[in-house]
Amino acid sequence: MTGGVQEAEAAPAEVFDVAVVGAGPAGLAAAGEAAAAGCSVLLVDAGTQFGGQYWRHAAPEAEDTDPGRWHHGWSIYQRLTQRVRDAVDVGRIRHLASTHVVSVRREQAGGDGAEGFLLQASLLPEAQKPGSYQAPQLLQARALILCPGTYDRQLPVPGWTLPGVMAAGGVQAFIKTQGAAPGRRVVLAGTGPFLLSAAASVIHAGAEVAAICESNSLTGWFPGGAAAALVPSKAAEGAGYVALLAKHRVPYYRSTAVTAIHGDAAREGAVRSVTVSALDASGTPVPGSGREVNDVDVVGLGWGFVPQPELLLQLGAQTTLDEDGSLVGVADADQSSSIPRLYLAGEITGVAGAAAAVAEGRIAGRAASSSVGQAVRAGVADIQDRATRAAHRRFASVMQKAHPIPEGWTQWLEDETLICRCEEVPWETARAAAEELSAEEPRGLKGSTRIGMGWCQGRMCGFAAQCLSKKAHVGEGGASSGREAEHAAALSAAKRPLAVPMRLGDLAEEPELTQE
């Protein structure tokens, strides 16, 4: 591979007014707005095409004539991307697709002496052309808008490593890109409204939903729920799901969790059935309540979403623990972080859905533009965006309160259930470390068991490790200090100096920046 490496050259002198990381709902909105304000914009995105996870869709080669049929708000997506494409065409936006931002740091950038941002961007390995390796590049911008979105939050359960077990988000992503369901008969389990959205996708893709297991007793989502009523689009969405599930007679269980997944030895362990158990008020499985749901080939587990905090933490921006236990960035009314010219939009400020993300992206795009001296006319649109953001954040907050992770989830673990899949660390090892070595917080747990040290760097097991540490802190010094300790633990577990793995050769060849 080294033969094809191009000599590292001095980085190009171009300094963008605004860099946007992520081209999902928030990033598209932010980039479009900043370009419209007259900024030169860099839009870096890991996706091969626009849309992020929310509007993930089939590649053009798939010739899906109507990708919008899998999506909410497809017309919004089309408007946002058209605006970005127009700006790309006139050279106002430079779009780097299939590109990860590996790291970011603050640097002197631009002629005005103010600090800007230096992004190390790396082409995805699968996007590299054979024979001509494209080394990572350094890019500079005066203002930065982070819209990194989320990934699925995982909670271990016996059997969760079997073929056919996916994240609920993964089930939906599969359908959006393949145009077909990943299996014939699907069980969706976990908590939160996303289970309904995923179930709707499965039904639309022509497969059967064998059961939905909602771990909470569920209040507030269905039509008439106080919060939903304040956000008519969400109320309508909820009503749509209810009607759809009723029409297809989908069994919907409350206060219920999938507590074991069973594979079929004859089919390389592929999923064949699940055990569902009732949960008591504290979220602990009720002994003896387990019953089998058979003839299942896909299980989608949905425990919510984790905002991707790497770049935020590399810059040292202020964070907080959201109501759902996720580490999120602190942003003010203009989506400005605690760091000058660093703006945050979308799920990185708290999981609140695509409508809030678009509104935040637009607000951030305008604020970032004005921070680099591009006058922005604040009009009716701005008032509308702020109202949309407020309504959807309120709705999200109610949803998060109604859908906590069941306290007693560790009760369904078996000794050999893997907590960390990369390093293959079973529950008994984690428990022993906590009990015998007092390795209760994620850092100690990591050091003594290797949980989170593997390929995914704790993205998959990090939330579980954080939950274990939360238990350890119960009763230590009251609720607030427990919350503080949990925040500190989450911070320490989520610090990743490289947002994605990087070739050592690329680290060795990082070019020097030319400073005038």
Partner 1 sequence: MSAVPRTGADVLVIGAGAVGSAVAFYCARAGMSVTVLDKGKPGGGTSSRCEGNLLVSDKEHGPELDLANYSLDLWRGELEEFGHLWEFENKGGIIVASRESSMTSLQRALRTQREHGIRVEEIDVPQLRELEPNISDDAVGAAFYPDDAQLMPMLLTAHMLRLARSHGAQVHPDTEVTGFLSQGERITGVTTNRGEFQANVVINAAGPWSGQLASLAGVSVPVEPRRGYVLVTEPLPPKVFHKVYAAEYIDNVGSSDDGLQTSPVVEGTPAGSILIGSSRERVGFDPTFSPTAVRDIARNAVELFPFLSDVRILRHYFGFRPYSPDHVPVIGPDPRAPGLWHACGHEGAGIGLASGTGKLIAQAVAGEPTDLDLAAFAPDRFGAADSEAAQSGAAKEAAA
What is the binding site for partner 1 (CB under 8 A)?
A: 1-2, 103, 105, 314, 423, 433, 436-439, 441, 443-444, 446-448, 450, 453-455, 457, 496-498, 501-505, 507-508, 510
Sign of CA dihedral 353, 356, 360, 362: positive
| Nearest CB to partner 1, comparing residues 103 and 400 | 103
Q: Smaller CB distance to partner 1: residue 295 or 435?
A: 435
Please give the Cα distance from 117 to 307 (Å, whole number): 21
Q: Bridge-partner residues for 43, per DSSP? A: 20, 95
Minimum separation from the CB atom of position 103 to partner 1 (A): 8
Q: Where are the alpha helices (DSSP H) in 335-477?
A: 354-371, 380-402, 427-436, 442-449, 462-473
Which residue number, 103 or 335, has a Cβ lying nearer to partner 1?
Answer: 103
φ, ψ of residue 499 in degrees (nearest 5): -70, -25
- 386 versus 450: smaller Cβ distance to partner 1: 450
Residue type at 3 in one-letter notation: G
Q: How far is the CB of 457 from partner 1 (least distance, A)?
A: 6
Output 333 or 504, the one with its CB closest to partner 1.
504
Contact 211, 293 (CB under 8 A): yes
Q: Evaluate the CA torsion angle 39, 42, 47, 53 in order and state its sign.
A: negative
For the bound state, the minimum distance from the C-beta of residue 280 to partner 1, rounded and expressed in Å, comes to: 32
Q: Residue 134, class by beta-carbon neighbours within 10 Å (0-12 exposed, 13-18 middle, 19+ buried)?
A: middle
Q: d(Cα 399, Cα 387) in Å, to the nearest integer?
A: 18
Strands (E), 197-340: 208-214, 252-253, 256-264, 270-278, 291-293, 298-302, 305-307, 319-321, 327-329
Cβ proximity to partner 1: between 11 and 58 the closer is 11
Q: CA-CA distance, 352 to 293, in Å (whole number)?
A: 32
Q: How far is the CB of 505 from partner 1 (least distance, A)?
A: 3
Q: Rounded to an integer, what distance in angstroms lies between the CA atom of residue 312 and that of residue 322?
A: 15
Q: Bridge partners of 108? A: 115
The residue among 116 and 238 lying less far from partner 1, judged by its C-beta, is 116
User: In angstroms, what is the minimal distance from the CB of 342 to partner 1?
Assistant: 16
* Minimum distance, C-beta of residue 118 to partner 1, in the bound complex (Å): 9
Instruction: Please report how close the Cβ of residue 131 comes to partner 1 at its closest, in angstroms.
Output: 15
| Closer to partner 1 by Cβ: residue 1 or 266 | 1
Minimum CB separation of residue 435 from partner 1 in Å reads 10
CA distances from 516 to 9, 12, 106, 111 (A): 16, 12, 17, 9
Closer residue to partner 1 in complex, CB, 191/457: 457
Beta pairing partners, 358:
none
Q: Taking the complex as a whole, how short is the minimal distance between the CB of residue 117 and partner 1, in angstroms?
A: 13
Kindly write down the DSSP assignment for every residue of 85-129, as one continuous string: HHHHHTTSEEEE-SEEEEEEEEEE-STT--EEEEEEEEE-GGGSB
